[in-house]
C-alpha cells in the first residue's frame, strides 16, 4: 500500500509540476492480476483497484494494522471493466460494468473475480474509516438518484449518478457516485467549489488513449492543473477546487469522505475569484 501524506495549500502553491503529480495524481491503478491501494492521510481514505485474472483476496496489509481490511472500515466499489463478481463473506455479487457495491464495516472475506480473465473486471474502490456496520448493498446505476447539470452551450452538460449517499445507500461517511459528460461537453464541476468539510478523489475513465483531461486543483485564487489520462485518479484536499476540462467527453467517479455527507454542502467559488 502506498502512503500519501496531507499537504498545506501554503506549500502546494510552490510545487513544481512533478511534485504536484507526485502528491496528488494516482497512476497505474489498474494492473491485471493485482490489487493496488493508495492510503491518503487526508481523512484516511484508501483509493484502490482490483483487476482479477484469477480470483483475488483483499488483504489488510501492514499499514492499517487490522486483522482484515474492513475490520474498522467501509468500502464502495464500482466496476469499470468486464463482468465480474465480488464475494463478501460467501455472498456473491455479480457486477456488470458500472454496477456498484457498498460493503459495511466488519465484512471479513472479500474476493474479486472476473467472468472472463481475458476481459477482466476493473473494480475501483474507495474505503474510509467507519464506526458502525451498515448493510452491504448491491447498486444498479439505473436505480440511483440522477441529476442532470449544465448545458452544451456552457460545454458542461453532464449527468451525476449518486451511488452511495444518505437515504439511498447508508454509510458512515463515504459518499460516492459517477458523472458522465454528454458528447460535446468537456467541463466538469465548473462553476467550481471547495468543501472544507469533505475531501474528494476523482477517477477519470472512458477516455480514448489520445485524449486528456486537465484537472484543476488548488485554492480558488491559486489554481494549478494536473494533466490526466484514462483510468487515473487524483486526490483533492478539502481546501482545493476539483474541476476538469477534457479534450473530449469522459466519465469520472467521485468519492468523498469527511465531516458530513451533504452532497450540496459546497462553498461555491465565483468566476470573479478564480485565478
Ligand X SMILES: O=C(O)C(=O)C[C@H](O)C(=O)CO
- Summarize the annotated binding site as residue ranges: 193, 195, 200, 242
Minimum CB distance to Zn ion smaller for 200 or for 231: 200
Least distance from C-beta 10 to ligand X, angstroms? 23
160 binds, among ligand X, Zn ion, none (CB under 5 to 8 A by kind): ligand X
Question: How would DSSP label each residue in 193-249?
Answer: EE-TTEEEEEEEES--TT--EEEEES-TTS-EEEEE-TTEEEEE-TTS--EEEESS-
Task: Work out whether the CA dihedral 37, 259, 202, 53 comes out positive or negative.
Answer: positive
Residues from 150 through 209 that contact Zn ion (CB under 5 A): 200
- What is the side-by-side order of every strand in the sheet holding 25-26? 25-26, 232-236, 198-205, 251-258, 175-181, 158-164, 145-149
Contacts of 132 by beta carbon, 8 Å cutoff, 6+ apart:
105, 172
Least distance from C-beta 107 to Zn ion, angstroms? 28
Q: Is 185 in the site for ligand X (CB under 6 A)?
A: no
Residues from 194 through 213 that contact ligand X (CB under 6 A): 195, 200
Least distance from C-beta 69 to ligand X, angstroms? 25
Q: Which of 189, 238, 240, 261 is the binder for ligand X (CB under 6 A)?
A: 189
Cα–Cα distance measured from residue 33 to residue 2, given in angstroms and rounded to the nearest whole number: 18
Contact present, 116 and 52 (Cβ < 8 Å): no
Q: Which of 7, 47, 179, 251 is the binder for ligand X (CB under 6 A)?
A: 179
Piece of the chain touching ligand X by CB under 6 A; list 3-11, 32-40, 53-61, 187-195: 187-195
Task: Draw the binding track, 96-135, toward ligand X (x: CB under 6 A; -: no contact).
Answer: ----------------------------------------
66 binds, among ligand X, Zn ion, none (CB under 5 to 8 A by kind): none
Torsion of CA 80, 84, 85, 86, to 10 degrees: -30
Cα–Cα distance measured from residue 246 to residue 186, given in angstroms and rounded to the nearest whole number: 5
Q: Which residues are near ligand X by CB under 6 A?
A: 149, 158, 160, 179, 188-189, 195, 200, 242, 254, 266
Q: Which residues are near Zn ion by CB under 5 A?
A: 200
Amino acid at each position: 500500500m502506498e502512503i500519501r501524506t496531507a499537504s498545506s495549500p501554503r506549500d502546494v502553491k510552490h510545487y513544481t509540476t512533478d511534485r504536484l503529480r507526485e502528491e496528488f495524481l494516482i497512476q497505474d491503478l489498474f494492473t491485471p492480476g493485482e490489487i493496488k491501494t493508495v492510503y491518503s492521510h487526508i481523512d484516511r481514505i484508501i483509493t484502490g483497484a482490483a483487476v482479477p485474472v484469477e480470483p483475488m483476496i483483499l488483504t489488510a496489509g501492514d499499514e492499517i494494522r487490522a486483522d482484515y481490511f474492513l475490520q474498522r472500515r467501509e468500502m464502495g466499489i464500482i466496476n469499470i471493466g468486464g463482468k465480474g463478481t465480488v464475494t463478501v463473506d460467501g455472498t456473491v455479487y455479480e457486477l456488470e460494468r458500472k454496477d456498484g457495491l457498498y460493503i459495511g464495516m466488519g465484512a471479513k472475506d472479500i474476493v474479486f473475480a472476473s467472468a472472463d480473465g481475458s476481459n477482466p473486471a476493473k473494480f475501483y474502490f474507495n474505503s474510509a474509516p467507519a464506526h458502525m456496520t451498515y448493510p452491504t448493498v448491491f447498486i444498479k446505476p439505473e436505480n440511483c438518484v440522477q441529476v442532470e447539470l449544465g448545458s452544451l452551450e456552457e460545454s458542461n452538460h453532464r449527468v451525476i449518478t449518486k451511488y452511495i449517499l444518505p437515504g439511498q445507500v447508508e454509510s458512515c461517511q463515504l459518499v460516492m457516485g459517477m458523472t458522465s459528460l454528454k458528447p460535446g461537453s468537456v467541463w466538469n464541476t465548473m462553476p467550481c467549489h471547495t468543501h472544507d468539510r469533505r475531501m474528494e478523489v476523482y477517477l477519470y475513465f472512458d477516455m480514448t488513449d489520445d485524449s486528456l483531461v486537465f484537472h484543476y486543483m488548488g485554492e480558488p485564487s491559486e489554481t494549478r492543473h494536473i494533466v490526466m489520462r484514462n483510468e487515473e485518479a487524483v486526490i483533492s484536499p478539502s481546501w482545493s477546487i476539483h474541476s476538469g476540462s477534457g479534450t473530449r467527453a469522459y466519465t469520472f467517479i467521485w468519492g468523498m469522505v469527511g465531516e458530513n455527507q451533504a452532497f450540496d454542502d459546497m462553498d461555491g467559488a465565483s468566476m470573479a475569484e478564480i485565478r
